[in-house]
Amino acid sequence: MGIFKKISSFLKDNDKETLKDKLNDSSDLIHSTEYKSKLKVISESENINTDSLEAKNGLDKGLEKTKNTFFSKLGKVLIGKSKVDDDVLDDLEEVLITSDVGVKTTIKIIERIEKRVSRDKFLGSKELNKILKEEIVGILLDQHSNDGSTFEALLPHNPYVIMVVGVNGVGKTTTIGKLANKYKLIGKKVMLGASDTFRAGAIDQLQVWADRVGVKLVKQSMGSDPASVAFDTLKSAKAQKIDVVIIDTAGRLHNKVNLMNELSKIKRVMDKVIPESPHEVLLVLDGSTGQNAFEQAKQFSSATDVSSLAITKLDGTAKGGVVLGISHQLKIPVRYIGVGEKMEDLQIFDPKSFVDSLFR
Ligand code: GDP
Ligand code: GDP
Ligand code: MG
């Protein structure tokens, strides 16, 4: 069956669940441009927003472990409960803390629930569920939000220069590849700079991503000056009228002074070529390390001005609650979340959809 027929056949029955499953099963197929354009035509006529459907599906799947753990714990607390008493609040607190939400954020959530429902008030567990969800979203939206943000809207300058930092292994290079793909899909000209010249294989790995996505890469040999690579990258980005430049860096946190010096040197050199750049310093954190990610965020932001966060590896961990704590407590917005190793497994973090997914 041709692609067109395949799409029509599962759209004809107008069953969104089936569409969701199919979108999920055939990731290679759905990332072909041919498929996308055809799907667009059909979905427009059927009035289905396939982008958000795809994102929602990816989020649910990516957060599966966190969802299951969180839900089963929450279920045990709420089962048979018809009023909010101290026991319920204590148990809720434990669920949140053991889901890596973090102590401060947990206390805040419990406080808000206490304020909202007077103690010993009779409530069904369904209502309590709803209140909990609303209060979690509430505190996240109080802090900041990417609510409704699109990849397009996250590029306020042209060229827009992003420097990506973080310790080894957190997923910097992978996140860069995924980001490059997202921007390319919306028609942006993307260029990568291989300023992780320290780690063996780092340049080749970025090259693999650049080839896979089909974007340009500027590199030198291993061991060369990262600032020099950044300089070359920005020079050629400027000459080639590139829209988005993403610079990979080496994450050596064992010596904060060196790291600080290296990052400020790269930034200084970038600013020479494109004033005010980098426009964004994106810190990548591995969500599966739970509370450790918090620590890294604190240490890195004391070494350089971090302006946004990406939290990776939320698939395959039950510690996804850490996103809620980080997003609530750090003054730095969580911009992206990584929910898998594949090219499309990156999403803009939206507190509301995130919490919706946890409770779904
Ligand atoms: P870097 O050292 O910070 O550049 O990290 P890499 O990008 O090389 O990633 C380290 C490992 O983490 C690789 O095996 C990636 O495939 C994996 N990884 C990165 N992001 C994710 C994610 O969102 N989910 C999963 N499951 N793996 C990821
Ligand atoms: P330095 O290495 O301590 O002298 O640090 P700089 O801030 O001067 O520059 C770091 C690197 O960026 C240099 O080694 C060059 O590779 C590159 N760079 C900086 N400015 C220039 C420039 O004006 N022209 C060229 N070609 N490269 C530059
Ligand atoms: Mg890397």
Contacts of 80 (CB under 8 A, 6+ apart): 125
The number of C-alpha atoms within 13 Å of 230 and in the hemisphere containing its C-beta is 29
Q: Which two tokens stand for residue 253?
A: 């946190």
pLDDT at position 144 over 80:
no
Q: Mean pLDDT for the chain? A: 84
CA dihedral 251, 321, 347, 67 (to 10 degrees): 140
From 231, 232, 236, 266, the mutation candidate for ligand 2 (largest count of ligand atoms within 8 A of CB) is: 231
Q: Looking at residues 83-102, what average pLDDT do you find?
A: 87
- Write the burial class of residue 136 (CB in 10 Å: 0-12 exposed, 13-18 middle, 19+ buried): buried
Helix (H) or strand (E) holding 177: helix 172-185
State how far the Cα of 139 lies from the Cα of 41, in Å rounded to an integer.
39
The topology under which CATH files domain 65-143 is Four Helix Bundle (Hemerythrin (Met), subunit A) (1.20.120)
Among 127-131, 216-220, 287-291, name the most confident range: 216-220
Hunting for tokens 């026991």 — which residue is that? 87
Per-position DSSP letters for 96-111, written without gaps between them:
HHHTT--HHHHHHHHH
The topology under which CATH files domain 152-351 is Rossmann fold (3.40.50)
pLDDT at position 154 over 80:
yes
pLDDT at position 14 over 80:
no
Cβ of residue 316 lying under 6 Å from some atom of ligand 1: yes
Atom in ligand 2 nearest the alpha carbon of residue 230? 12
Whole-number Å distance, alpha carbon 222 to ligand 3 midpoint, is 13
State how far the Cα of 71 lies from the Cα of 76, in Å rounded to an integer.
8
